[in-house]
Structure 1
Amino acid sequence: MIQLKDITLVIWDWNGTLLDDVAVCVDSINMLLNERQLTPLDKTLYQQIFTFPVKDYYEKAGFNFGEEPFEIPAMQFMDLYRTNLNQAALHQETISVLKQLQSLGLKQAILSAMEQELLVDLLQRYQIADYFDQTFGIDNHFGAGKIERGKELIHSMKLNPNECLLIGDTLHDAEVAKSIGCRCLLFDGGHQSRIRLETSGHAVLSNLNELFAL
């Protein structure tokens, strides 16, 4: 059982966990699917097939990388995502949870499969950058994963992984937590369904405030 008194660092995923951007992602990918005369996704199907590496999710959505390289729709998606991002907001409880953890004296960090420069820009845009001691994104827009970046984060902060808690919204977050040796909670308000998340064996939150009721 996870208790915050045993935790020194909370590692947050960004997309879907703190930022409620699922609708923006579904709308953006559907624009690309429609251009290719492929069947669009609804939110339920999206949450059933979204995965890391993101290239695998694109294939499940119907993209044919024998006809075009993955990098083409991936960059088109990012252009649409950036354009439509003004429609996304932080989850309702995001700021209050960050404030409460800060008041408890816990360190906080971001670990994301989003490109680093864009990630830093968005944290500033949503006015929450000051809550985080470290911000670790990746060096491209192709969403292959973040295991190595997670290891780098733990090493840079010189912390015992067992005193770290990773909170994310995908099974990849559980994989990252296992790889770096830290604890894990998952959140069903993001990019994968609760049914999928429960297969990880980790506790699944429906509201980030449930973190304080464990």
Structure 2
Amino acid sequence: MKLRLLEYDHIVFDWNGTVVDDLGLAVQSLNRVREDVNLGAVDADTYRRHFRFPIAEFYASIGFDFRKRSFVELVTAYLYHFDNQVADCEICAGFHDLADALRQHNVPISVLSASHQKTLERIAQRKQLAPLVTHLYGLDDEAAMGKLDRARDLDRLIGQSGASSVLMIGDTDHDYDVALDRGWDFVAVASGHQHRDRLEELGTPVVDQLGELMDFAPLQSRSVVV
């Protein structure tokens, strides 16, 4: 099968919800924190309709009161539950096939994540993903304020290899914003942390699973307004 993705010099994948199928764990971990502060549980649909960056805005939108418990305390508690179990999450359907095919055709891939760098490296090693990925870029800031600065660092590194056309694959509007900032094309995957309805509002191509990208048509580049 011919891969249209071969027209790109480099492919950048988001991590959580795009490569690692961790939505269920994220909802579970969030609800454990909510229980600690006497808030009711949220279901996956509510989570996906509200999820956004910065994470503080997401927490505020689902009822956390930072006057009662600081955001740093809340996200630290969340990460305690999440990081202890994320290694048990499965890799998203279609990723291995897609990554293997790209590697066979000499198209390098990178991972750009809002996860902590050490957590990202640990899970990639455990899941035997490291050999498939040229660059693993996570955050040093566990409060997950965003990954735009890391995207700029990664973009400079990709550019040093001579790559001029880059595609990002992600599951949130924040990933889309990162791609626009860097002048990368973007495809949204609707099986992750944001609801398909929200992703379709972006006006970008949306697929349900990574496997659909195996014969995905090439995208037109977008101009970035700065």
TM-score by length of 2: 0.90
Query: Shift of the alpha carbon at 1:3?
Result: 3.9
Cα deviation 1:149-200 (Å, max 9, x = unaligned): 1111010122567510000000001000000111100100100000000111
Cα deviation 1:125-171 (Å, max 9, x = unaligned): 11111111111111121111111111110101225675100000000
Output the CA distance in 1 between the equivalents of 2:31 and 2:206.
Answer: 28
Output the CA distance in 2 between the equivalents of 1:37 and 1:95.
Answer: 40
* % identical aligned pairs: 28
Cα deviation 1:20-74 (Å, max 9, x = unaligned): 0000000010011112111211000000001001111111121111122100010
Partner of 2:122: 121
Partner of 2:150: 149
Read off the aligned partner of 1:63 and give its amino acid letter. F
TM-score by length of 1: 0.95
Correspondence 1:37 to 2:47 = no
Read off the aligned partner of 2:5 and give its amino acid letter. L
Output the CA distance in 1 between the equivalents of 2:51 and 2:36.
Answer: 20
Partner of 2:201: 199
Read off the aligned partner of 1:37 and give its amino acid letter. N
Read off the aligned partner of 1:152 and give its amino acid letter. D
Output the CA distance in 2 between the equivalents of 1:84 and 1:133.
Answer: 25
Read off the aligned partner of 1:202 and give its amino acid letter. T
Partner of 1:176: 178
Partner of 2:213: 211
Output the CA distance in 2 between the equivalents of 1:87 and 1:134.
Answer: 22
Output the CA distance in 2 between the equivalents of 1:166 and 1:152.
Answer: 15
Of residues 164, 167, 175, the one that matches 1:165 is 167
CA contact (8 A) 2:6 2:102 kept: no
Read off the aligned partner of 2:207 and give its amino acid letter. L
Read off the aligned partner of 1:170 and give its amino acid letter. T
Correspondence 1:77 to 2:75 = no
Output the CA distance in 2 between the equivalents of 1:104 and 1:186.
Answer: 23
SS in 2 for 1:178: helix
Partner of 2:96: 95
SS in 1 for 2:101: helix
Output the CA distance in 2 between the equivalents of 1:203 and 1:104.
Answer: 23
Q: How many pairs align?
A: 213
Read off the aligned partner of 1:213 and give its amino acid letter. D
Q: What RMSD in Å do the two structures reach over aligned CA positions? A: 1.5
SS in 1 for 2:84: helix
- Which ranges of structure 2 fall in alignment gaps of 5 or more residues? 217-226
Cα deviation 1:68-90 (Å, max 9, x = unaligned): 21000101100100223254111
Seen in structure 2, the aligned counterparts of structure 1 residues 162 and 185 have a Cα distance that, compared at 3 Å, is farther
Deviates more, 1:175-184 or 1:136-145: 136-145
Read off the aligned partner of 1:112 and give its amino acid letter. S
Read off the aligned partner of 1:199 and give its amino acid letter. E
Read off the aligned partner of 2:66 and give its amino acid letter. F
Output the CA distance in 2 between the equivalents of 1:115 and 1:25.
Answer: 15
